Amino acid sequence: MTSPRFRVTDLLARPSLGSITTSVIVAIFLVCLTNRTFWSKAGIYLADHPGGVAGLFVIVLAIHIALLTAFSVRFLIRPFFIVLILASAIGSWFMDRFGVVIDDDMVRNAAQTTPAEAQHLITPGLALHMLLFAVLPIAALLWIRILHRPYLQKVPRNLAVIVLCLVVSAGEFLTYSKPFTAMLRQHKDLVKSLNPVTPLVGTAQFLLQTSGETDVGAEPIGLDARIMDVAATDKRPRVTILVAGETARAQNFSLGGYARHTNPELSRQDIVYFPNTTSCGTATAVSIPCMFSNLTRAGYTHDKGLRTETLLDVLKHSGADVAWWDNNTGSKGVADRVTFIDLVKTADGRFCIMGECQDGIFLERLDTWLDQVKKDSVLVLHTMGSHGPTNYLRYPEAFRTFTPDCRTAELGNCEDEEIVNAYDNSILYTDHVLSSVIETLKKRFATLQTAMVYMSDHGESLGENGLYLHGAPYIIAPDVQTHVPFFVWLDDAFSRSMDLDRPCFESTSGMERSHDNLFHSVLGMMNVRTTVYDPALDIFTACRKATPHGQ
């Protein structure tokens, strides 16, 4: 009897798997191979309950099997599983590499990013990761034959698997209910690390929110705004430069006590620095519209922000000239109704490369703009600041002071010390740009009364507790992402125009401040009278000798 002859085609024959078996295999892949961050945290949080980790694994795997089995029907199983695999592959890269949480705010931030910003995140490491955890698994899913039983047999079998999984999950949870309940109450970040649940839920929430944003009009506020005179004898136009910083964290400002001298130039300026300032959000897409809104962080939502005019609109209603210069990813709707200039589009070769520009691009243009000022004006400079992960691109070679500095977007290839060095160099350059703005304003003392306000939108994680970048949900965000630098510079004439007691104002520097203060403080500086102004949130109120707002 001769043995069957081997044929190459046998190796190429497509294997067959039942739909439930396929569901189990994909569930194991998702739970075991794309949830490193989740299981690392679970191991730490349940360190005193080793059996609890095993119990949690059973629960998570059983729920995944139940969910996938519920969708394991003909014509749906492959598309649905492919979406899960893609979401898990992308989510695991950013969660495991940077420690980020991909919720609706992070999805919004990603949706609003520019091609230039996105290109820094598309690295060889990401490409390899996607090959291993997306392309190959999806190719295998498309290659196999998935067998489906007749409908009347499939429904009871699938239902039996789903019920069994849910019963097992419930049993395990009851067994370890005490440590599980304590863990979920104390460590809300654990559930937010579950992949691909969090990325998909976040994406769904973002899509639902944006679906209702079509043709949203901003409701006017401050239509009664007008500029009041205090020092009526001085008719020079009053100019405020409002600098919206990017990703600067207060912990790395030497003005606030950081050991490294990252603010050598600002330390020589007569500024009032507020070291206890918190942000409204942890990502630009949230913080920028929130900080320019009259809504406090407690009352702010993305939808409310879209439907309400901003600080810039109220200033415009008052009769001031208002403009926004952008060297970032846009104003997030804040400057939709005022003059907007995108400096990135100038592609100025002295400052710009690969579709991004260093903040020195503002300086000479500021001098030209000041030449044309004829009345009270506010100019917003939206900087690139310290936006990661490519901080080495944020400063010129002359400011490469702290070395060795991380020179790649692949943060995993750099030591934490190198990442911090690159970040500190970017802060050092920010210090130079801000001090240069002040020096430019000082030279206008004969024709203008000038002031500058600097406030960063959010901070940054530089490896603390395994976290990098920013965008963590506020409820679990570390203070390095929410503690931001904030300072004010006023020339003597501007202080007099506000009737400000300068020593009194300097004595308030230690008070707690936040993004909530910006809207009302800028109105206060510009002597704008309006019903939407709240003196309780104006940082200058307690030190003004007179109040021009007619409270």
Beta bridge pairs of residue 452: 241, 489
54 pLDDT higher than 50: yes
Predicted confidence (pLDDT) per residue in 247-262, tens digit: 999 999 999 999 999 9
| CA dihedral of residues 296, 297, 300, 302 (deg, nearest 10) | 140
Helices within 75-196 (DSSP H only):
77-98, 104-111, 115-119, 124-130, 136-143, 151-175, 177-186
pLDDT on residue 516: 98
One-letter amino acid at 108 equals R
Name the band, by pLDDT with cuts 50, 70 and 90, for residue 551.
very low
Two tokens, residue 123: 């690295």
User: What CA–CA distances, in Å, run from 440 to 149, 344, 424?
Assistant: 77, 22, 24
278 against 117, higher pLDDT: 278
pLDDT on residue 204: 87
Instruction: Report the chain's terminal Cα–Cα distance, integer Å.
Output: 106
| CA dihedral of residues 507, 509, 511, 517 (deg, nearest 10) | 120
Q: Give dist(CA 137, CA 34) in Å, integer.
A: 12
Any idea which of 203-217, 230-244, 381-395, 515-529 has the lowest mean pLDDT? 203-217
Indicate the average pLDDT of the chain: 92
Q: Give the other-Cβ count within 10 Å of 131's Cβ.
A: 12
55 pLDDT higher than 60: yes
343 pLDDT higher than 80: yes
Comparing CA positions, the residue from 506, 498, 487, 539 lying closest to residue 238 is: 498
CA 434-435-438 angle, to 5 degrees, is 95
Predicted confidence (pLDDT) per residue in 491-535, tens digit: 999 999 999 999 999 999 999 999 999 999 999 999 999 999 999
10 against 538, higher pLDDT: 538
pLDDT on residue 110: 79
369 pLDDT higher than 80: yes
Summarize the confidence of residues 204-227 as an average pLDDT: 83
User: What CA–CA distances, in Å, run from 45 to 42, 173, 179, 187?
Assistant: 5, 16, 9, 8
111 against 461, higher pLDDT: 461
Q: Give dist(CA 399, CA 384) in Å, integer.
A: 16
Q: Give dist(CA 345, CA 347) in Å, integer.
A: 5
361 against 231, higher pLDDT: 361
Predicted confidence (pLDDT) per residue in 161-185, tens digit: 999 999 999 999 999 989 998 888 8
Q: Under a CB-based contact definition with an 8 Å cutoff, are residues 469 and 461 in contact?
A: yes
Q: Give dist(CA 243, CA 436) in Å, integer.
A: 12
What are the backbone dihedrals phi and psi of residue 82, each rounded to the nearest 5 degrees, phi first? Answer: -65, -45
One-letter amino acid at 252 equals N
Predicted confidence (pLDDT) per residue in 90-105, tens digit: 999 998 888 888 888 8
Predicted confidence (pLDDT) per residue in 323-339, tens digit: 999 999 999 999 999 99
Q: Under a CB-based contact definition with an 8 Å cutoff, are residues 498 and 525 in contact?
A: yes
Q: Under a CB-based contact definition with an 8 Å cutoff, are residues 228 and 527 in contact?
A: yes
CA 249-252-257 angle, to 5 degrees, is 120
Q: Give dist(CA 336, CA 514) in Å, integer.
A: 24
Q: Under a CB-based contact definition with an 8 Å cutoff, are residues 338 and 316 in contact?
A: yes
Name the band, by pLDDT with cuts 50, 70 and 90, for residue 426.
very high
Two tokens, residue 413: 């290839």
Q: Under a CB-based contact definition with an 8 Å cutoff, are residues 470 and 282 in contact?
A: yes
Two tokens, residue 75: 């014509």
Name the band, by pLDDT with cuts 50, 70 and 90, for residue 145.
very high
484 pLDDT higher than 80: yes
10 pLDDT higher than 60: no
* DSSP secondary structure, 273-286, as one string: E-SSEE-S-SSHHH
Summarize the confidence of residues 182-202 as an average pLDDT: 88
**What long-range pairs does 118-124 form, CB within 8 A, spacing at least 24?**
119/354, 119/355, 120/389, 120/390, 120/409, 121/389, 121/409, 123/408, 123/409, 123/410, 124/410
Q: How many residues does the chain have?
A: 551
Q: Reply yes or no on domain 228-543 having CATH 3.40.720.10.
A: yes
How far does CA 25 lie from the centroid of its chain?
35
Summarize the confidence of residues 465-479 as an average pLDDT: 90
Q: What is the pTM of this model?
A: 0.86
pLDDT on residue 231: 60
Q: Give dist(CA 184, CA 111) in Å, integer.
A: 30
Q: Under a CB-based contact definition with an 8 Å cutoff, are residues 405 and 428 in contact?
A: no
Q: Where do the CATH 3.40.720.10 domains begin and end in the chain?
A: 228-543
Two tokens, residue 137: 């698994």
Q: Give the other-Cβ count within 10 Å of 431's Cβ.
A: 23
Summarize the confidence of residues 363-371 as an average pLDDT: 95
pLDDT on residue 215: 63
480 pLDDT higher than 60: yes
Strands 468-469 and 528-529: unpaired
Q: What is the CA radius of gyration of the chain?
A: 28
